[in-house]
């Protein structure tokens, strides 16, 4: 079920399967489009979708499948951006999310895996994780982007 909980927070439970990834991307795009319309605050939706898919993929691949994954999108009115969280059922820290600098183990350019947390650190304005009652939440924030200028006749 997808619902607005409060004026600027949206939550949805996703299945603990790979099908959650495209669902999460579509929901993030939809919510951020609504935020842009209602709150007049634009966010880089492409980056939000990419980073959300990384978090959801990690939750599916690296956590037990006995609980759904929760996606939370929150508008941050103080600076106009948004925070996106993915809640999963594993309490363990998500690897190298907060360590600046080169990864502990080098990323093999020929491998399909191993770049998700690096992307989140590089493309978000902030990121982190916190414990929850049933596991953890991994999050990132994106700032607002300037609205495109319109010509006077529009």
Three-state secondary-structure class, residue 8: coil
CA torsion sign, 27 to 29 to 32 to 37?
A: negative
Identify the CATH number of the domain in which residue 11 sits.
3.30.565.10
Establish if 150 belongs to a structural domain: no
pLDDT in tens, 8-32: 788 999 999 999 999 999 999 998 8
- pLDDT tens, position by position, 37-73: 766 667 889 999 999 999 999 999 988 888 899 999 9
pTM of the model as a whole: 0.79
Q: How many domains does the chain have?
A: 1
Domain extent at residue 134: 2-145
- Helix then strand then coil, % of the chain, to nearest 5: 30, 30, 40
């Amino acid at each position: 079920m997808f619902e607005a909980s409060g004026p600027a927070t949206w939550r949805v439970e996703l299945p603990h399967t790979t099908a959650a990834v495209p669902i999460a991307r579509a929901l993030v795009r939809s919510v951020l489009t609504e935020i842009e319309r209602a709150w007049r605050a634009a966010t880089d939706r492409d980056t939000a979708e990419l980073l959300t898919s990384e978090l959801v993929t990690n939750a599916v691949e690296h956590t037990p499948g006995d609980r759904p994954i929760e996606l939370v999108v929150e508008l941050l009115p103080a600076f106009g951006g948004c925070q996106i969280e993915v809640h999963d059922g594993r309490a363990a820290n998500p690897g190298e999310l907060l360590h600046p600098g080169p990864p502990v183990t080098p990323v093999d350019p020929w491998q399909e895996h191993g770049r998700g947390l690096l992307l989140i650190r590089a493309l978000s304005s902030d990121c982190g994780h916190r414990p929850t009652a049933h596991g953890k939440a991994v999050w990132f924030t994106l700032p607002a982007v300037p609205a495109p200028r319109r010509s006077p006749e529009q």
